[in-house]
């Protein structure tokens, strides 16, 4: 799909155009959340990412 088609689909579904810039949390909020809920970003890490060769 082209960008124009995606934007038109979003407009039809939501009734308005999509935001041009995504909402970002302030750094202090991100640090607080990481302190309260450590490891929340670990869902993107898989065992295959750390393939360590067996001992020789």
- Residues 5-56: pLDDT tens digits? 888 888 888 888 777 777 788 899 888 988 998 877 777 777 777 777 787 5
Task: Determine the pLDDT at residue 56.
Answer: 58
C-alpha 13 chain-centroid distance: 22
Task: Determine the pLDDT at residue 28.
Answer: 92
User: Phi, psi at residue 47, to the nearest 5°?
Assistant: -60, -30
Task: Determine the pLDDT at residue 50.
Answer: 78
17, 8 contact by CB (below 8 A): no
Give exposure, 35-46, as e/b (b: 16+ Cβ within 10 Å). eeeeeeeeeeee
Task: Determine the pLDDT at residue 18.
Answer: 73
Domain coordinates in residue numbering, the chain: 3-49
Both tokens of residue 25? 């949390």
Both tokens of residue 11? 């407009």
Task: Determine the pLDDT at residue 49.
Answer: 76
């Amino acid at each position: 799909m082209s960008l124009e088609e995606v934007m038109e689909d979003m407009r039809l579904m939501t009734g308005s155009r999509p935001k041009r810039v995504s909402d970002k949390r302030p750094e202090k909020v991100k640090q607080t959340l990481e302190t309260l809920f450590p490891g929340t970003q670990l869902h993107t890490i898989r065992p295959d990412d750390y393939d360590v060769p067996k001992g020789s």
